[in-house]
């Protein structure tokens, strides 16, 4: 039985969830449990290791991969589902799920870290959040770090050594304005160098954009074109706080829109002490995804955007489960 917990997270295997449905209703607690860091084996990976299993979820460029997270009514992640529990549609036409994976496959992750002037008192907890996120890492994962204030900067290119990213953050100082959109755009470009099929961004920022050259529309299009999940942690002052700019007021909706269309999520945090726990929750969510792969029935290479929908087959004895998934992709063009 797989059970992995953080103070905000519960993962529940399918068999346990089924058993619970036969019991009288009771509140399920969320115990405070720390995450034990995975041991990073720096020796060469043996044959049959996780790095050899990438072909299980990607065959060629015609295969579309849709990461899916499933939660129950209490927001617990549900593991143990099979391919038969899912139905997948493209532009309302059901597709055949030809590849299915529920293992912890390697990730390519970009950290997009706000270092603008307003982040000064929030930097320490933000660094701790990245460290907590890294504790859930797979030894085959790779990471890069982009910091942004007036403009974005690639501070650390792809590396499998999480310590290198954290060491870079140690010297971070806050100054300037907030070029969030430029930071995301640079991250999308850097992600083209990724070695792993699964890709994700973690954005940590305390407000909306006020210094970017790229427009919101341009960045949203880039996000829709990329096969990258976006998770964001927004560190916001209370709505009633004095001095909130229009950009800061628009920050939550901007991050929500960027994240939701990719199958990721945005988390609003107003208590700095919660930052590490939220980052750990994101890391665990990425480790409890299903990946559905299909070859589209529409083989026209027209470059158009195609909408994707994932539904769960209702199973007797189970409560209503919620899937979260990437909502579409651009078809290849000639």
Q: What is the mean pLDDT of residues 316-328?
A: 90
Asked if the model's pLDDT at residue 228 lies above 60, the reply is yes
State yes or no: pLDDT of 49 exceeds 90: no
Quick: pLDDT tens for 91-132.
Answer: 999 999 999 998 888 999 999 999 999 899 999 999 999 999
Which pLDDT does position 76 carry in this prediction? 87
Q: Is the pLDDT of residue 288 over 80?
A: yes
The pLDDT of 71-91, averaged and rounded, is: 93
Average pLDDT, integer, range 315-326: 89
Taking the C-alpha atoms of residue 131 and residue 215, their distance in angstroms, rounded to an integer, is 31
Q: Which of 35-39, 53-57, 192-196, 291-295 has the lowest mean pLDDT?
A: 53-57
The two structure tokens encoding residue 293? 């792969």
pLDDT at 270: 86
Q: Per-residue pLDDT averaged across 240-261, rounded? A: 72
| Confidence check: pLDDT of 78 > 60 | yes
| Tokens matching residue 109 | 């992750």
Domain ranges of the chain: 1-23+58-102+290-334, 107-287
**When comparing pLDDT for 327 and 52, which is higher?**
327
Q: 2-48, pLDDT tens digit by residue?
A: 333 334 466 777 777 777 766 544 443 333 434 444 454 545 444 44
pLDDT of residue 1: 35
pLDDT at 48: 45
- CA 57, CA 293: separation in Å to the nearest integer? 7
Beta pairing, strands 305-312 & 86-90: antiparallel
* Summary mean pLDDT of the chain: 83
Q: Taking the CB of residue 208, how many other CB atoms lie within 10 A of it? A: 23
**What is the rounded CA–CA span in Å between residue 125 and residue 323?**
31
pLDDT band at residue 307 using 50, 70 and 90 as cut-offs: very high
Looking at residues 135-149, what average pLDDT do you find? 95
Average confidence (pLDDT) over 205-223 = 90
Which candidate, 72, 90, 68, places its Cα nearest to that of 9? 72
pLDDT-based confidence at residue 254 (cuts at 50, 70, 90)? confident
Reported as a pLDDT band with limits 50, 70 and 90, residue 233 is very high
Tell me the CATH number for domain 107-287: 3.40.50.410
Cα(24)–Cα(68) distance, rounded to whole angstroms? 30
CA distance 150 to 144: 20
Q: How confident is the model at residue 281 (pLDDT cuts 50, 70, 90)?
A: very high
Per-residue pLDDT, 199:
95
248 — pLDDT class (breaks 50, 70, 90): low
Supply the pTM of this predicted model: 0.79
Q: How high is the pLDDT of residue 89?
A: 98
If one compares 62 and 280, the residue with the highest pLDDT of the two is 280
pLDDT at 111: 98
Place of tokens 């860091």: 37
The residue-averaged pLDDT of 268-272 equals 90
C-beta of residue 83 within 8 angstroms of C-beta of residue 312: no
> At which residue do the structure tokens 């001095």 appear?
243
Task: Write the Ramachandran bin of 91: left for phi over 0, alpha for psi from -120 to 50, otherwise beta.
Answer: left
- Token pair for 127: 């660094």
3-state secondary structure 165-228: HHHHHHCCCCCCCCCHHHHHHHHHHHHHHCCCCEEEEEEEECCCCCCCCCCHHHHHHHHHHCCC
Task: Express as a percent the part of the chain with pLDDT over 70.
Answer: 80
């Amino acid at each position: 039985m797989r059970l992995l917990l953080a103070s905000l997270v519960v993962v529940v295997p399918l068999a346990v969830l089924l058993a619970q449905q036969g019991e009288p209703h009771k509140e399920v607690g969320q115990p405070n449990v720390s995450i034990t860091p995975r041991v990073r084996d720096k020796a060469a990976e043996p044959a049959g290791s996780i790095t050899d299993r990438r072909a299980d979820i990607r065959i060629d460029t015609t295969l579309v991969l849709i990461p899916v997270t499933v939660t129950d009514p209490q927001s617990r992640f549900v593991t143990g589902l099979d391919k038969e529990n899912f139905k997948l549609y493209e532009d309302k036409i059901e597709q055949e799920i030809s590849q299915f994976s529920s293992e912890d496959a390697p990730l390519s992750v970009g950290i997009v870290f706000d270092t603008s002037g307003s982040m000064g008192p929030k930097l320490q907890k933000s660094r701790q959040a990245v460290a907590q996120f890294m504790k859930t890492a797979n030894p085959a994962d790779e990471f890069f770090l982009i910091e942004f204030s007036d403009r974005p900067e690639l501070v650390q290119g792809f590396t499998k050594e999480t310590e290198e990213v954290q060491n870079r953050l140690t010297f971070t100082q806050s100054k300037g304005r907030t070029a969030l959109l430029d930071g995301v755009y640079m991250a999308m470009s850097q992600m083209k160098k990724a070695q792993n099929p699964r890709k994700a961004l973690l954005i940590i920022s305390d407000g909306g954009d006020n210094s970017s050259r790229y427009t919101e529309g341009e960045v949203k299009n880039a996000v829709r074109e990329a096969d990258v999940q976006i998770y964001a942690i927004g560190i916001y002052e209370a709505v009633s706080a004095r001095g909130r700019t229009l950009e800061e007021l628009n920050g939550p909706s901007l991050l929500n829109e960027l994240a939701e269309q990719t199958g990721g999520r945005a988390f609003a945090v107003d208590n700095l002490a919660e930052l590490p726990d939220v980052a750990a929750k994101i890391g665990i969510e990425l480790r409890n995804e299903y990946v559905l792969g299909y070859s589209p029935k529409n083989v026209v290479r027209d470059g158009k955007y195609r909408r994707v929908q994932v539904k769960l087959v209702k199973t007797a004895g189970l409560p209503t489960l919620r899937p979260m998934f990437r909502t579409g992709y651009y078809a290849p063009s000639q």
